[in-house]
Structure 1
Amino acid sequence: MNLKSIHIGKLIHKRVGEVEMPVGRIEKFMKCSEDEIESMYRESSIDTFLLLRWSKLLEYDFFRVYSGHLILYAPPSKRYDISRPKDNLPAFRKNIYTEEVKSFIIEKIVSKKMTMNDVVLKYKIPKTTLSKWIKKA
């Protein structure tokens, strides 16, 4: 999966095929027509409410695709202390590593494109976490 360039419509369409979801069930759950569903498959991005509905229907967390992108391509800045929330937004664990992210990182290390230290510096993934991933791979 390409986490750098996400086309959510294609991913949704792929998941629909994997679970063999009937179009009638999708239409009823999403409260839209078959044409509207086909249109969503062609969209590279969709409204978060619709993405939440797709995630529930297909029992797949499509938001994690975006979390993976953030981990790899927008690591947290050191300018801000995010450990002390200054607003009322919910606080989440700082890192949630999906299998796609793990595979991407392990492939970089195994192919010698990056060292473990490079990964630690660029993606802020703890060295102990990397070691565990490599042992399991």
Structure 2
Amino acid sequence: MLYKNIHIGQFIKERVEEKEITMDRICNFLNKDEKFIEEVYNNKSIDTDLLLRWCKLLEYDFFRIYSSHLILYAPPSAVNKGTKKSEKIPYFRKNIYTQEIKDFIIKKILSDEMSLSDVIEEYSIPKSTLHRWMQKIRNNNE
């Protein structure tokens, strides 16, 4: 899965097909007509309230796709240790990697699409973290 260019409508359509959900059920759940649903499938982005409803209907966390994008592509300056944490909104550390992110990176390394140094430079993942992931892969293969 490519996390760099997200077309949420396409992901929603694919999940609908996987779950084999009828158009009638979708229209009833979202209280929208078929034309609106088709427009969603063609949109690269949608309103977050609507996306949350799709998540519930399709039993899939589409927001995690965006989180993965931020983990991989947020500029290193976004992780400023001197920045004061807000008391009004939740604070999330950048270096929490989901299993999907780990699999994505490891696949790139194992297929020789990227070297360890390429991954470090492109995604700002610490060298020690990458080595730990690779060691786990080696241990599992033994």
Alpha-carbon RMSD across the aligned residues, in angstroms, is: 2.6
Distance in 2 between residues matched to 1:28 and 1:36, nearest whole Å: 12
Gaps of 5+ in 2: none
Gaps of 5+ in 1: none
Verify: 1:57 aligned to 2:74, yes or no.
no
- Conservation of the 8 A alpha-carbon contact between 2:79 and 2:94: no
Give the 3 Å change call, closer, same or farther, for CA 29–96 of structure 1 in structure 2: farther
Q: Calculate the TM-score normalised by the size of structure 2.
A: 0.79
Partner of 2:39: 39
Percent same amino acid among aligned pairs?
A: 53
Please identify, of 108-117 and 63-72, the stretch whose mean Cα deviation from structure 2 is larger. Answer: 108-117
Partner of 2:14: 14
Distance in 2 between residues matched to 1:133 and 1:35, nearest whole Å: 45
Distance in 2 between residues matched to 1:128 and 1:30, nearest whole Å: 46
Q: CA deviation at 1:9?
A: 0.3
Q: CA deviation at 1:29?
A: 1.4
Q: Which runs of 4+ in 1 moved over 6 A?
A: none
Supply the AA of the counterpart residue of 2:21: M
Paired positions, count: 137
- Conservation of the 8 A alpha-carbon contact between 1:67 and 1:96: no
- Conservation of the 8 A alpha-carbon contact between 1:64 and 1:98: no
The 5 A counterparts of 1:113-124 are 113-124=113-124
The 5 A counterparts of 1:22-33 are 22-33=22-33
The 5 A counterparts of 1:104-119 are 104-119=104-119
Supply the AA of the counterpart residue of 1:65: I
Query: What do residues 10-29 of structure 1 show as CA deviations (whole Å, max 9, x unaligned)?
Result: 00000001111122221111
Distance in 2 between residues matched to 1:125 and 1:65, nearest whole Å: 18
Q: CA deviation at 1:89?
A: 1.1
